[in-house]
C-alpha cells in the first residue's frame, strides 16, 4: 500500500565532526529545497517528504530514495532539486545522471559500512570511551555561551553589512584578537559567514538578532544570558537548598530584560490560551503577575466586553503599562501594583490567570494563592494555571525537569510541579472540577472550576 504517489526519504543522520555524513554534504539544504519546490509546484498532497537515518552510503551523500519505485539518488545538491521535482515527481521521469542504480556496489558499501561501524563501536566500548551523547551533553554550554556573549555585545548588529574583526572589535569596545576568535566560532556554529577577513550575518542571524529587524529576539534572549550567571551557582544551590545571591539581578536593566524575555514567549501563546479557554461568559479577568500583559492583551483583543486587571510588583507595572499601551488596549486593561502573596484579590472575577507564576513559589504559597483566588471568583469562575507540568514521578518532560533547576537557582523555594500536585491544591482550595488542557508547546493549562 502506498498512500502517496511518491514517498521521498532524505538521509539527515548527524555524525561527529570529521566523519562523512549526508548532513556534512548538505542534506539539510537539499531537504529545505525539496520542501519548498514540492509546495511551490502544488505537489504537497501527492508527495510525502520524510527524513531518515544512515543508509550506509555516507561517502556518496547526500543520499535520497524515491518510493514506490525505489529510485536512489546520490550526491544530490540543492541546485538539482528543481530538476528532480519537475521531471521525476512532476512528470515521472527520474534524472538519470543523478540516479544510482549499481545495486551490487551499493549493497557492498552499505554492508561494509555496517561492519566497520559495529567494529568501531565495539572497540570504543572495550576501551571505555565516553559515549558521544554524554560528551556532547557535558560540553553543551560551549555553543550556548558563545551565542550569549555575542548577544550581550550585540555583535550581530555591530556586523551590520559586514566587517573584519578589528572593525567589529572597535564598534563593541573589545579586544580585536579575542573578537576574531569569537567571530570564527560563530562562523563554525553557522550563525555568521566569512569571506577573506570579512564577517557577515547569515539571513537567519540578520532576521533574529539584528537591531531594527521586526523579528529581532535579542532583548528577550538577554534574559537567558542573565540567568546564565544564576546557573553557574547550581552546585552551591544544590548544596544549600536554595538560590545563592549573585548581586546582579535587581537592576532595572535585569527587570526590563526579564519582562522582554517573558513577552517573547507569551505574545505567541496568548491567542492559543484565549482559544483554549474561550471568551464565553468571561467579563472580568484578574491576571496575577501579568508581566508584559501579553495574556490580558490577547483576551482584550479577542473580546471588546472583557475587562482585565493586571497585578504585578511596583518595578514591573511601568513596563507593563508600555506593552499595554503599545497594544492599544489601555481602555480594557488596568494595572495594579501589589504583592500577590498577601491580601485579598477582590471579588466577582470570571477568570483568574496564573501564567508562569506557580513555579516561582513554594507549595504552601501556591495553596494560599489558590485559596484566595477561589474566594475572588464568581460562580462558574475559573482559575487557570499555565506552567511546565511534570509527570507524577517528576522525571519529565525534560524541559519541565530542567526548568525546576532554573527555579532552584533563581528563587527562594520555586520549582516545577506535577499535575497531581496542582489538582490537589485546587481541590483543597474548594474547586469543584479540575481539568488539564495541553497546548502546542512546553506548557499546559490546569483549570479549576468554581461550582
Ligand atoms: C515568570 S513572569 C510571568 C509573566 C506573565 N504572567 C507571563 O506569563 O508572561 C512572573 C511575573 O510575576 C511577577 N511577580 C513575581 N512575584 C510577584 C508577587 N509577589 N506579586 C505580584 N507579582 C509578582 C513578576 O514581576 C513577573 O512579571
Ligand atoms: S549519513 Fe547518510 S547514508 Fe550515512
Q: CA–CA separation, 130 vs 254, rounded Å?
A: 39
Give me the half-sphere count of Cα atoms (radius 13 Å) on the Cβ side of residue 201. Answer: 20
- Ligand 1 centre and the CA of 384: distance in Å? 15
CB 183 within 8 Å of CB 168:
yes
Choose one of 8, 57, 64 to mutate for the ligand 2 pocket test, by most ligand atoms within 8 angstroms of C-beta: 57
Each residue's pLDDT tens digit, 110-128:
999 999 999 999 999 999 9
pLDDT band at 249 (very low <50, low <70, confident <90, very high): low
* Closest ligand 2 atom to 61 CA: 2
User: For residue 247, what pLDDT is reported?
Assistant: 74
- Ligand 1 centre and the CA of 410: distance in Å? 13
User: For residue 248, what pLDDT is reported?
Assistant: 67
Residues with CB under 6 A from ligand 1: 262, 266, 289-292, 294, 311-313, 316, 339-341, 355-357, 360
Give the DSSP H or E segment for 203: helix 203-209
Helix boundaries (H) for 8-102: 27-40, 81-83
Residues with CB under 6 A from ligand 2: 11, 13, 21-22, 54-58, 61, 63
Ligand nearest to the CA of 52: 2
Each residue's pLDDT tens digit, 376-410:
999 999 999 999 999 999 999 999 999 999 999 99
* Closest ligand 2 atom to 27 CA: 2
Ligand nearest to the CA of 28: 2
- Ligand 1 centre and the CA of 259: distance in Å? 9
Query: Residue 419, class by beta-carbon neighbours within 10 Å (0-12 exposed, 13-18 middle, 19+ buried)?
Result: middle
Each residue's pLDDT tens digit, 9-54:
999 999 988 899 999 999 999 999 999 999 999 999 999 999 999 9
Choose one of 250, 271, 357, 407 to mutate for the ligand 1 pocket test, by most ligand atoms within 8 angstroms of C-beta: 357
Contact partners, residue 29, CB within 8 Å, separation at least 6 = 78
- Ligand 1 centre and the CA of 290: distance in Å? 6
Torsions phi, psi of 7, nearest 5? -130, 115
Ligand nearest to the CA of 63: 2
CB 418 within 8 Å of CB 390:
yes
Choose one of 220, 250, 266, 291 to mutate for the ligand 1 pocket test, by most ligand atoms within 8 angstroms of C-beta: 291
Each residue's pLDDT tens digit, 418-448:
999 999 999 999 999 999 999 988 999 999 9
- Ligand 2 centre and the CA of 63: distance in Å? 7
* Closest ligand 2 atom to 15 CA: 1
332-356 in b/e burial notation, b at 16+ Cβ within 10 A?
bbebeeeebeeeebeeebbbbbbbb
Q: CA–CA separation, 16 vs 120, rounded Å?
A: 13
User: What is the residue-wise DSSP string for 95-116?
Assistant: -TTTB---HHHHHHHHHHHHHH
Q: CA–CA separation, 150 vs 228, rounded Å?
A: 14
Percent of the chain with pLDDT over 70: 99
Nearest CA to ligand 2 atom 1: 21
Closest to 449 (Cα-Cα) out of 293, 277, 334: 277
Nearest CA to ligand 1 atom 14: 289
User: For residue 17, what pLDDT is reported?
Assistant: 85
Q: Report pTM.
A: 0.91
Q: Is the pLDDT assigned to residue 195 strictly greater than 80?
A: yes
- Ligand 2 centre and the CA of 21: distance in Å? 5
Choose one of 289, 296, 344 to mutate for the ligand 1 pocket test, by most ligand atoms within 8 angstroms of C-beta: 289
Place of cell 506552567: 387
Choose one of 313, 320, 365 to mutate for the ligand 1 pocket test, by most ligand atoms within 8 angstroms of C-beta: 313
Each residue's pLDDT tens digit, 199-248:
999 999 999 999 999 999 999 999 999 999 999 999 999 999 999 988 76
Amino acid at each position: 500500500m502506498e498512500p502517496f504517489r511518491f514517498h521521498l526519504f532524505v538521509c539527515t543522520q548527524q555524525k561527529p565532526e570529521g566523519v562523512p555524513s549526508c548532513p556534512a554534504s548538505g542534506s539539510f539544504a537539499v531537504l529545505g529545497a525539496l520542501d519548498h519546490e514540492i509546495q511551490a509546484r502544488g505537489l504537497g498532497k501527492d508527495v510525502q517528504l520524510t527524513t531518515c537515518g544512515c543508509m550506509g552510503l555516507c561517502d556518496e551523500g547526500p543520499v535520497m530514495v524515491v518510493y514506490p519505485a525505489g529510485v536512489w539518488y546520490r550526491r544530490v545538491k540543492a541546485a538539482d532539486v528543481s530538476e528532480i521535482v519537475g521531471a521525476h515527481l512532476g512528470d515521472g521521469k527520474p534524472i538519470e545522471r543523478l540516479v544510482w542504480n549499481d545495486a551490487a556496489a551499493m549493497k557492498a558499501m552499505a554492508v561494509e559500512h555496517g561492519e566497520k561501524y559495529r567494529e568501531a563501536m565495539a572497540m570504543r566500548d572495550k576501551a571505555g570511551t565516553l559515549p558521544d551523547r554524554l560528551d556532547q551533553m557535558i560540553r553543551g554550554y560551549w555553543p550556548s555561551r558563545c551565542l550569549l556573549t555575542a548577544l550581550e555585545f550585540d555583535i550581530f548588529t555591530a556586523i551590520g553589512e559586514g566587517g573584519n574583526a578589528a572593525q567589529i572589535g572597535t564598534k563593541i569596545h573589545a579586544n580585536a584578537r579575542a573578537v576574531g576568535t569569537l567571530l570564527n566560532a560563530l562562523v563554525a556554529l553557522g550563525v555568521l559567514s566569512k569571506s577573506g577577513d570579512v564577517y557577515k550575518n547569515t539571513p537567519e542571524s540578520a532576521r533574529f538578532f539584528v537591531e531594527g529587524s521586526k523579528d529581532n529576539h535579542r532583548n528577550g534572549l538577554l534574559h537567558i544570558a542573565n540567568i546564565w550567571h544564576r546557573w553557574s551557582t547550581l552546585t552551591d544551590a544544590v548544596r544549600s537548598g536554595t538560590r545563592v545571591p549573585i548581586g546582579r539581578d535587581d537592576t532595572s536593566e535585569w527587570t526590563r530584560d526579564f519582562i522582554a524575555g517573558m513577552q517573547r514567549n507569551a505574545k505567541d501563546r496568548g491567542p492559543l490560551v484565549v482559544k483554549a479557554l474561550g471568551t464565553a461568559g468571561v467579563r472580568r479577568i484578574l491576571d496575577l503577575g501579568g508581566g508584559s500583559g501579553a495574556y490580558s492583551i490577547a483576551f482584550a483583543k479577542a473580546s471588546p466586553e472583557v475587562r482585565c486587571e493586571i497585578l504585578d510588583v511596583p518595578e514591573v507595572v511601568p513596563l507593563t503599562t508600555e506593552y499595554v499601551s503599545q497594544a492599544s488596549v489601555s481602555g480594557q486593561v488596568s494595572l495594579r501594583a501589589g504583592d500577590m502573596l498577601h491580601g485579598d484579590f477582590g471579588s466577582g472575577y470570571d477568570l483568574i490567570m496564573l501564567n508562569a507564576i506557580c513555579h516561582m513559589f513554594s507549595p504552601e504559597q501556591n495553596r494560599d494563592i489558590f485559596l484566595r483566588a477561589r474566594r475572588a471568583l464568581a460562580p462558574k469562575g475559573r482559575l487557570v494555571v499555565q506552567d511546565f507540568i511534570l509527570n507524577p514521578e517528576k522525571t519529565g518532560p525534560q524541559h519541565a525537569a530542567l526548568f525546576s533547576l532554573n527555579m532552584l537557582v533563581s528563587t527562594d523555594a520555586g520549582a516545577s510541579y506535577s499535575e497531581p500536585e496542582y489538582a490537589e491544591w485546587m481541590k483543597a482550595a474548594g474547586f469543584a472540577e479540575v481539568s488539564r488542557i495541553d497546548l502546542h508547546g512546553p506548557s499546559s493549562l490546569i483549570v479549576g472550576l468554581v461550582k
